Amino acid sequence: MTCIDTCGSQGVYTSLLVEESDLANCNPATFDTNSERYEILSESIRFTDNLLGGNGLTGTIDKIGNHTRHGARVVVGEFSLEVGPYELDNWLPRILGKAASGSTFTTDETFDLLPFDIMLKRDQGTVTYRRCSVSAATLTSTASIGGAEQVTRLTLRVLGYEEHDTTYPATPPSLPTEERLYWLLGDGKLEMTPEGGSLTEYYFDAFSLRIDNNLTPKTRNFLSVTCVQTNGRQIRLRVRTPYTSSSHTNLYINDFKGQGVLSFLGSKNPEVPSAYSTVITLPELRQTRITPNTAGRGEIPLSLDLEAYRSASASGTIEPITITNAHP
């Protein structure tokens, strides 16, 4: 009897590494023990190499294989991971398009791509995706009893230039050995301050903060990406809150516009040192109002759909988002 092995690669052996792109020499980044390594939940990064041609009339009902060519190539896809202050330190500059200033991360009127290379070891095959940038980033979390969805997740949509087969480092970076902290929805706090009004804290069951940099690839007269540009940034905060008389008046009827602060605080949880905190400040929020509705016997939610804007004051321009990220 012939011994047959039909096993394929398994996702459990996937490993994702990140390195800053080598823009000076345009060489693939060197991955080693100092590279960033992430514990990801899933990934869908794809290199698309479309087959073109062979559509002419040949007197048969079939296309002819040697009448085709490979067209323009592009790298695009997503990966997601559970995040806390440590992971955000690395990703916030790439998401916001500006280098950090100490523990403060914010935007600018321009967007710096801050390109990076991604190495993905998919068990038996390893590839590198070159000169990637963050096209969009979404932070999400949902209240639950014991469910994994209460852990804050970051989903990153990346856009890159090309794919190369490669070899995984003989000595790869180690996974973090110290105790890690990932934010839970229970660490969160939401404070809203309407224009001319006073600060009020609101309880919430779920949130989604999406920063969309709207990156667009250009190939020009080449067969690979030669330029990546932004068509304008959009920052959107969606929050599901309990529908109460207070939220009805302050957030819905009065058509809320003003400042929102979404914080994740170690001081809320006795298991977490108070030195851990991530404070997201959105100074100029404006609302797309959504009428609450009754879906059944349970609690009626009020869903907030808020967009962040740049604004000006006597002291100068105010950025649409500022994040302070602190940890020991």
pLDDT at 179: 77
* Residue at 328: amino acid letter: P
pLDDT at 177: 76
pLDDT at 1: 61
pLDDT at 176: 78
Give the pair of three-digit tokens for residue 126.
């390893």
**Cα distance between residue 74 and residue 96, in whole Å:** 23
Phi first, then psi, for residue 255 (nearest 5°) are 50, 75
pLDDT tens-place values along the chain, 328 residues long: 678 999 999 999 999 999 999 999 999 999 999 999 999 999 999 998 889 999 999 999 999 999 999 999 999 999 999 999 999 999 999 999 999 999 999 999 999 999 999 999 999 999 999 999 999 999 999 999 999 999 999 999 999 999 999 999 999 999 877 777 899 999 999 999 999 999 999 999 999 999 999 999 999 999 999 999 999 999 999 999 999 999 999 999 999 999 999 999 999 988 889 999 999 999 999 999 999 999 999 999 999 999 999 998 767 789 999 999 999 8
| Bridge partners, residue 79, by sequence | 43, 156
CA angle 19/277/87 to nearest 5° reads: 15
CA angle 133/84/193 to nearest 5° reads: 90
Residue 159 DSSP SS3: strand
pTM equals: 0.95
